[in-house]
Amino acid sequence: MKTAMVLMVVSAAILFVLGTLHLVYTFTGPKLKPRDAALQTRMQEVSPVISAETDMWRCWIGFNASHSMAAMLFGLVYAFLAMAHGGLLFSSPFLLGVGFLLLGGFFVLGKLYWFSVPFYGITLSLVCYVSSIVAALVG
């Protein structure tokens, strides 16, 4: 069970770090700003069809921040469960399934829409996650 716990914590830590970096980049520096300043200006002028109460730039910031927070929450919850309640985590098809679906969803999104660094990080996290389940079943 020790190997399973370590692998789960590594999986969770990877996602927590990716989410934290993404949150920092969302609110500081140029990393998540368009290379073309005119695009950012235009995004600040145009609202989405769903509501005129916001603009596309504010949506961009909000979506990035909430995405970051979801990754951080996964990291915190699954690391905590692995360390403090490993028996519960590794015996719960529900918890293991939810974690797998979230990581699997991030994996697909990463492959289809993101660039290599987060995709490789999520891939490593997913490999550690699945390996932790296998280690729990074997051990």
- Other CB atoms within 10 A of residue 86 CB: 18
Residue 2, sorted as left (phi over 0), alpha (psi -120 to 50) or beta, turns out to be alpha
Question: What mean pLDDT do residues 95-120 have?
Answer: 97
In eight-state DSSP terms, residue 30 is S
3-state secondary structure of 49: coil
Whether 98 has a pLDDT exceeding 80, the answer reads yes
Question: What mean pLDDT do residues 63-82 have?
Answer: 98
* Contact (CB, 8 A) for 12 and 76: yes
Question: What mean pLDDT do residues 44-57 have?
Answer: 97
Whether 137 has a pLDDT exceeding 90, the answer reads yes
pLDDT tier for residue 139 given thresholds of 50, 70 and 90: confident
b/e per residue, 14-35, with b = 16+ CB within 10 A? bbbebbebbbeebeeeeeeeee
In eight-state DSSP terms, residue 133 is H
Q: What's the confidence (pLDDT) of residue 75?
A: 98
In angstroms, rounded to a whole number, what is the distance separating the alpha carbons of residues 93 and 14? Answer: 22
Q: What are the start-end ranges of the H helices in 28-115?
A: 37-45, 56-84, 86-90, 93-113
Whether 1 has a pLDDT exceeding 90, the answer reads no
Q: What's the confidence (pLDDT) of residue 103?
A: 98
**Mean pLDDT, the chain, as a whole number?**
97
Q: What's the confidence (pLDDT) of residue 74?
A: 98
Q: What's the confidence (pLDDT) of residue 114?
A: 94
In angstroms, rounded to a whole number, what is the distance separating the alpha carbons of residues 85 and 15? Answer: 19
The continuous run of DSSP H or E covering 132 comes out as helix 116-138
